[in-house]
Amino acid sequence: RKEVEQDPGPFNVPEGATVAFNCTYSNSASQSFFWYRQDCRKEPKLLMSVYSSGNEDGRFTAQLNRASQYISLLIRDSKLSDSATYLCVVGPNYGGSQGNLIFGKGTKLSVKP
């Protein structure tokens, strides 16, 4: 089982749609979770952290299910500007090796007019 798995997509959705991305991770000791966004030919940028209680930032909602080792990202009212690749990222147990932030391969989203 790969450490962080995502559906590669692409997800092609119309403007205004709601779209959900899922991610599973294999290391049950993981303690930090993030979603990054990467535009074509650009660097990844932090979109949001994911907390155990779930968190929301505008149209974006992230949830974590530790028991199932599952992370989700929900985008409501999709905009053309949301078109990008979304990377699920899982971090190390606190106190563990600093360099082990694991990136999923990403899910590509294309929002159409």
28 binds another protein (CB under 8 A): no
Structural tokens at position 46: 């932090």
CB within 8 A of 72, min separation 6: which ones? 20, 21, 22, 23, 62, 63, 65
- Specify the residue, 60 or 103, whose C-beta has the smaller distance to another protein: 103
Task: Tell me which of 7, 61, 76, 105 binds another protein, using CB under 8 A.
Answer: 105
91 binds another protein (CB under 8 A): yes
98 binds another protein (CB under 8 A): yes
Cα separation, 58 vs 80, in Å, equals: 16
Number of Cβ within 10 Å of residue 9's Cβ equals 15
107 binds another protein (CB under 8 A): no
Footprint of another protein on this chain (CB under 8 A)?
31-32, 34, 42-46, 49, 87, 91-92, 94-95, 97-101, 103-106
